Amino acid sequence: MKTKRRVALVTGASSGIGRACVQQLASAGLTVYGTSRHPKRRRGGGDLPMLALDVCYDDSVRTCVDRVISETGRIDVLVNNAGVGLEGAVEETSLDEIRAVLETNFFGAVRMMRAVLPIMRKRRSGRIINIGSAAGFLPMPYSAAYSASKHALRGFSESLDHEVRKLGIRVSVIEPGFVRTDIVEHSTVAAAPFEPYTSARSNPARAFRQAIARGVPSRSSCAASCCTCFPKASCASATSASSPTGNALPSCRSAFNCSVTPRADPLRHHCPLPTSRAHSGTVPPAVEPCTS
Ligand SMILES: NC(=O)c1ccc[n+]([C@@H]2O[C@H](COP(=O)([O-])OP(=O)(O)OC[C@H]3O[C@@H](n4cnc5c(N)ncnc54)[C@H](OP(=O)(O)O)[C@@H]3O)[C@@H](O)[C@H]2O)c1
C-alpha cells in the first residue's frame, strides 16, 4: 500500500456535479483524482490531479485505473458521475444516438465498476457511488434514452450492491433533481427533427432548460454523494421546485457541512428526498462507513 489516505476517483470532474464532488471529497481529506476526456483543456478543482478518461473505451478505463493504482495502490471510492443528455422524441432519435447515451451513462459506469471491483474486493472495502437521475425513476418525455440509461444504472447498481456487500463493498445511487450545471450545453439534440414532435417538445424543452438554470447548485447535489460516503455529514432538507411536466420535484438543498445526526441506515436517510434521492440497500452493521 503506497498511501494510507483514502483514495477517490471521480469521473467527469471537469464541470458541474463531478467537479463539486472532487472538491468536497478533497476537503474531507481524501486523495482525489478527477477525470476528463480533455484533462489539459478542462481543469478540475484547483491543483487536484485530472486524468484522461473516456468511459466509452475499455483501454481508456484501464489506463486511468492503472495510473491511480500505480500512484497510490488503492481506490476506496469510485464516483461514476460522467454523463450526457439527449433531447428528442423517440421517432426523431436514431439507434446510434440512443446507443451513444447508453454507452456513456450506463456502459461507461459499468466499465468503471468492473475495473475497480477486483481492487476493492481484494481489500474487502470500497464504495461505489453512481450518479443516476430523477429521470431514473420519473421519466420525462423527449428524453427516453437518458431515462433508460438512468433506469438501467439504478437497477444494475442495486443488484450489484446485493452481490458485493458481503465483500465489504457498497454500491449507492444518487438521483438528483435539477442541478444548475452546463449539462444542457454539453448535451445533444436529436439530429433528425420530425413533425409533429418538434413543436410539441419545444415547451417542455424550454421548461427543462429553465429548471436546470434555476436548479440547486452542484455543491448541494454532490453533498448527497459525500453523505453516502461520510455519514457524519448529512443532507438537511428537501424543498420543491416545478418540473417541466408540472409535478413537484423536491430538490436537495443539502449542505455538506450541516449536522443532522446520522440515522441507523445512513445510505437511505441522509438525503430524504422523494424524487432527488440517494439510496441503496440496507447497511449491514459489519460495514464501516468510509470516513477518512
Ligand atoms: N444537472 C442536473 O440537473 C442533473 C440531474 C440529474 C442527474 N445529473 C447527472 O449528473 C452527472 C453530471 O452531470 P452535470 O450536470 O454535472 O453535467 P456536466 O457539467 O455536463 O458534466 C458532465 C461530465 O461528464 C463528463 N463526460 C461526458 N462524457 C464523457 C465520457 N464519454 N467519458 C468521460 N467523461 C465524460 C464531462 O467531462 P469532459 O467533457 O471533460 O470529458 C463532464 O465533466 C451526469 O451523470 C448527469 O446525468 C445531472
79-135, pLDDT tens digit by residue?
999 999 999 999 999 999 999 999 999 999 999 999 999 999 999 999 999 999 999
Catalytic residue annotation: 146
Q: Whose CA is nearest to atom 40 of ligand 1?
A: 36
Ligand 1 atom at minimum distance from 186 CA? 20
84 lines ligand 1 (CB under 6 A): yes
Amino acid type, 68: V
Amino acid type, 191: A
61 lines ligand 1 (CB under 6 A): no
Ligand 1: distance of its center to the CA of 211 in Å?
17
Q: In what order do the strands lie in the sheet with 169-175?
A: 50-52, 31-36, 7-10, 77-80, 126-131, 169-175, 277-279
Do the beta carbons of residue 35 and residue 51 sit within 8 Å?
Answer: yes
Ligand 1: distance of its center to the CA of 196 in Å?
30
Report pLDDT digits (tens) over 135-145. 999 999 999 99
Strand partners, 34: 10, 50
Write the DSSP assignment of 217-285 as a string of letters. EHHHHHHHHHHHH-TTS----EEEEE-TTS-EEEEE---TT--PPP-SSHHHHSS--SSSEEE-S---T
pLDDT of amino acid 132: 97
Q: What angle do CA 81, 84, 90 make, to 5 degrees?
A: 135
Name the pTM for this structure.
0.84
Residue 40 has φ and ψ, to the nearest 5°, of -75, -35
Q: Whose CA is nearest to atom 45 of ligand 1?
A: 83
3-state secondary structure at position 38: coil
Ligand 1: distance of its center to the CA of 288 in Å?
29
Q: Which of 10, 129, 179 to mutate to test the pocket of ligand 1 (most atoms within 8 A of CB)?
A: 179
Which residues, other chains included, contact 266 with Cβ-Cβ below 8 Å and sequence gap of 6+?
227, 228, 231, 234, 283, 289
Amino acid type, 228: T
34 lines ligand 1 (CB under 6 A): no
Q: Which of 181, 185, 219 to mutate to test the pocket of ligand 1 (most atoms within 8 A of CB)?
A: 181
The mean pLDDT of 153-158, rounded to a whole number, is 97
pLDDT of amino acid 219: 79
Domains of the chain (ranges, CATH numbers)? 7-278 (3.40.50.720)
pLDDT of amino acid 144: 98
3-state secondary structure at position 173: strand
Q: How far apart are CA 109 and CA 195, in angstroms?
A: 34
Tell me the three cell numbers of residue 210: 429553465
Q: Which helix (H) or strand (E) holds 80?
A: strand 77-80
Ligand 1: distance of its center to the CA of 113 in Å?
17
131 lines ligand 1 (CB under 6 A): yes
Q: Tell me the pLDDT of the chain averaged across its residues.
A: 81
Q: What angle do CA 40, 18, 58 make, to 5 degrees?
A: 65
Report pLDDT digits (tens) over 219-259. 776 655 555 555 433 332 232 333 333 333 332 323 222 22
Nearest Cα to Cα of residue 32 among 271, 266, 46: 46
Report pLDDT digits (tens) over 47-83. 788 999 999 999 999 999 999 999 999 999 999 999 9
38 lines ligand 1 (CB under 6 A): yes
Q: Whose CA is nearest to atom 36 of ligand 1?
A: 12
CA dihedral (122, 127, 130, 136) in degrees, to 10, reads: 110
Q: How far apart are CA 229 and CA 250, in angstroms?
A: 22
Q: Whose CA is nearest to atom 6 of ligand 1?
A: 133
16 lines ligand 1 (CB under 6 A): yes
